[in-house]
């Protein structure tokens, strides 16, 4: 298992938990755009957070579901995982 969440993994989690399909390339190109730009609301992001907590067995930071952009979310989530390693 990776110790970092990739853009590909985020795209797959968003598809499965929020029901929104966004390509990894789109997340790469528009990583600083708000999640709402991609059609992902706070409830969808909360689903992603819950899935990551289950998968990695570690809590995400309390403000993870309030991240505004994919880049901000990945930075925060990966920092939390690195701290747990």
Per-residue pLDDT tens over the stretch 9-40: 999 999 999 999 999 999 999 999 999 999 99
pTM, two decimals, is 0.91
Percent of the chain with pLDDT over 70: 98
Q: Dig out the tokens for 24 from the structure.
A: 């990894």
Cα 2 to Cα 12: distance, rounded to the nearest angstrom: 15
| Beta carbons within 8 Å of 39's beta carbon, 6+ residues apart | 20, 22
Cβ neighbourhood burial of 63 (10 Å; 0-12, 13-18, 19+):
exposed
Mean pLDDT of 64-80: 94
Q: What is the mean pLDDT of residues 42-60?
A: 93
- Cα 74 from Cα 69, distance rounded (Å): 9
Chain-wide mean pLDDT for the chain? 93
Token pair in block for residue 40? 């992902």
């Amino acid at each position: 298992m990776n110790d970092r969440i990739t853009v590909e993994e985020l795209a797959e989690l968003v598809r499965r938990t929020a029901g929104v399909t966004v390509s990894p390339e789109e997340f790469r190109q528009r990583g600083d755009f708000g999640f709402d730009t991609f059609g992902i609301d706070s409830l969808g992001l909360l689903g992603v957070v819950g899935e990551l907590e289950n998968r990695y067995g570690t809590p995400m930071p309390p403000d993870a579901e309030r991240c505004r952009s994919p880049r901000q979310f990945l930075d925060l989530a990966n920092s939390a995982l690195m701290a747990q390693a």
